[in-house]
């Protein structure tokens, strides 16, 4: 039986990114965190993920990582950073197990210079590829799922995947949903 999911963007949704110092990024790649030492959960994220997980949602991270295509990081660095995110989001009810079921990332960017990653790709948001792959691989019910992100490309990817627009939550400090804690409360109030 398909399961409901909450699809989560990574940077500035789960972890700090825009507020990090330049030292966190390879030269010329500010905004593309690929150093696990700088992974910092945003306030309220761990508790929000715990609440969503306990409510039965499968938590899936989907993140563009064009830094690989631009030569600012390797696949190994991106995967180490993703692993650190999962480690920091440990399940308090099951020590050593992450609240995150799976992380999908897209290392492609059409303006990149590193082969074979310097192409457009169906996983690169706003395309829905990561969401559709997760739905198939994890047997997820997109009609019962939600998506939370901090950029319009996140919301557009969810729309293109067929998630109900009312279930696409854009984090905005000037709205009723400024952060993941507020998004989780909204989701849980609609169960």
User: What is the set of active-site residues?
Assistant: 9, 11
Beta bridge partners of 169: 148
Residue 84 — φ and ψ, nearest 5°?
Answer: -65, -40
- CB 168 within 8 Å of CB 147: yes
Which of 124, 12, 110 is closest to 65 using CA atoms?
Answer: 124
- CB 107 within 8 Å of CB 68: yes
Tokens of 56: 């039965």
> What is the radius of gyration, based on Cα positions, of the chain?
16
- CB 190 within 8 Å of CB 166: no
């Amino acid at each position: 039986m398909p399961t409901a999911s909450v699809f989560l963007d990574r940077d500035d949704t789960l972890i700090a990114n825009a507020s990090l110092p330049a030292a966190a990024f390879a030269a010329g790649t500010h905004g593309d965190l690929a150093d696990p030492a700088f992974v910092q959960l945003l306030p309220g994220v761990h508790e929000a993920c715990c609440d969503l997980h306990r409510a039965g949602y499968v938590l899936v991270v989907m993140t563009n990582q064009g830094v690989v295509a631009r030569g600012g990081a390797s696949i190994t660095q991106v995967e180490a950073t993703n692993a650190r995110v999962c480690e920091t989001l440990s399940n308090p009810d099951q020590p050593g197990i992450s609240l995150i079921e799976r992380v999908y990332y897209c290392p492609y960017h059409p303006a990149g210079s590193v082969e074979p990653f310097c192409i457009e790709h169906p996983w690169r948001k706003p395309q829905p590829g990561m969401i559709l792959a997760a739905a198939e691989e994890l047997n997820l019910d997109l009609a019962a799922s939600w998506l939370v992100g901090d950029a319009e490309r996140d919301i557009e990817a969810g729309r293109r995947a067929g998630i109900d627009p009312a279930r696409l939550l854009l984090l905005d400090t000037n709205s009723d949903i400024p952060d993941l804690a507020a998004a989780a409360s909204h989701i849980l109030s609609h169960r």
